[in-house]
Amino acid sequence: WAPLSSGKGRPVGAAQVFLEPTALDSSTASATRTVWVVVGLVFAILWLALVLLVRGAAARLSRQNDVLMGRSRDLSESSLRLEENLMETIETLNAAVEARDPYTAGHSQRVRRVALAIGRELSLSAKQLGTLGTAALFHDVGKIGIPDSILTKAGPLERNEAVIMREHVTRGAEIVSKVSSFQDIVHAIRHHHERWDGLGYPDGQRGNDIPLEAAIIGLADAWDAMTTDRPYAHGLTLNEAMLQIRSCREKQFSPAVVDAFWRVAKRHPSDILPPEAPTSALVAV
């Protein structure tokens, strides 16, 4: 309701206004629909922009991933080739060492054969046997740096010469350490001249502190040296060498390794004898 007044301000009546609710509802509904349409369009635009952004980022990431994978493959192949080249180089160095001294030709292979026979007798795992065999094969590779005047000397070494000769274990360990797949054999090569009583080299390790693989190679190496002729001395007979091994038990050699070697000599003598020696040549066992 609204009052009506004359020009002089006197009330002359009243006016009543009616609002049609249907029109109001229709207007409100129309405005609501407009709002929702606008909101929907805004979200649609945002969603489309997000999709395009994600697709672009995914495409870039995919391309980058392909590039990285390609580089990774190239690096892996290069690393593998480098590793193979290093292994071939060490094998060549090892062969060169034996070629320089005809009296030790085949020495590494013989040491490997005896070492593996002892390792099997000690029930080493396949992985340990693999490590042992490789270490035995390359145990003298460090001699590549020893002068010929010392390496091939036809007689006992002087004190200063012996000091230089002893360096072959540290040099050998350093050489094989350059190959990642040879990391397990580094200690076996470095310590294969340690003694059970602590009087060996290079670190004076004693007893069970000496890596087992090194202790096995040390005995196999000594056995081959004992039974091989040199320019200045004939090798021991097989029985003399067996008795020498036994007498050095708990002095130069690990008792467990000596006992395993002795058992192999009894059960499978061909595994430790020189290739040309008859199995009947062993009497001491």
Q: CA dist 147 to 100, 106, 230, Å?
A: 10, 20, 18
Amino acid (1-letter code) at residue 54: V
Q: Which residues contact 122 (CB under 8 A, 6 or more apart)?
A: 212, 216, 256, 257, 260
Whole-number pLDDT of residue 9: 72
Whole-number pLDDT of residue 278: 65
Whole-number pLDDT of residue 82: 72
Q: What are 184's two structure tokens?
A: 């397990």
Whole-number pLDDT of residue 101: 75
User: Which CATH fold topology does 101-281 show?
Assistant: Hypothetical protein af1432 (1.10.3210)
Whole-number pLDDT of residue 154: 81
> Across the chain, where does the E strand assignment appear?
2-5, 11-15
Whole-number pLDDT of residue 251: 97
> Could you give the count of Cα atoms lying within 13 Å of 114 in the half-sphere of its Cβ?
27
Exposed/middle/buried for 157, CB within 10 Å: 0-12, 13-18, 19+?
Answer: middle
Collapse the DSSP code of 25 into the 3-class scheme (helix H, G, I; strand E, B; otherwise coil) and give the result. Answer: helix
d(CA 79, CA 105): 32
Whole-number pLDDT of residue 248: 97
- Enclosing H/E stretch for 174: helix 168-176
Whole-number pLDDT of residue 129: 95
CA dihedral 205, 222, 113, 138 (to 10 degrees): 60
Whole-number pLDDT of residue 219: 98
d(CA 140, CA 173): 10
Residue boundaries of the structural domains of the chain: 1-78, 101-281
CA-based radius of gyration for the chain: 44
**Phi, psi angle pair for 273, to nearest 5°:** -80, 150
pLDDT tens digits in sequence order for the chain, 285 residues long: 667 677 677 777 776 666 566 665 677 777 788 888 888 888 889 888 888 888 888 888 888 888 888 777 777 777 777 777 777 888 888 888 888 877 677 899 999 999 999 999 999 999 999 999 999 999 999 998 899 999 888 888 999 999 999 999 999 999 999 888 899 999 999 999 999 999 999 999 999 999 999 999 999 999 999 998 877 778 899 999 999 999 999 999 999 999 999 999 999 999 998 877 666 666 555
Whole-number pLDDT of residue 174: 95
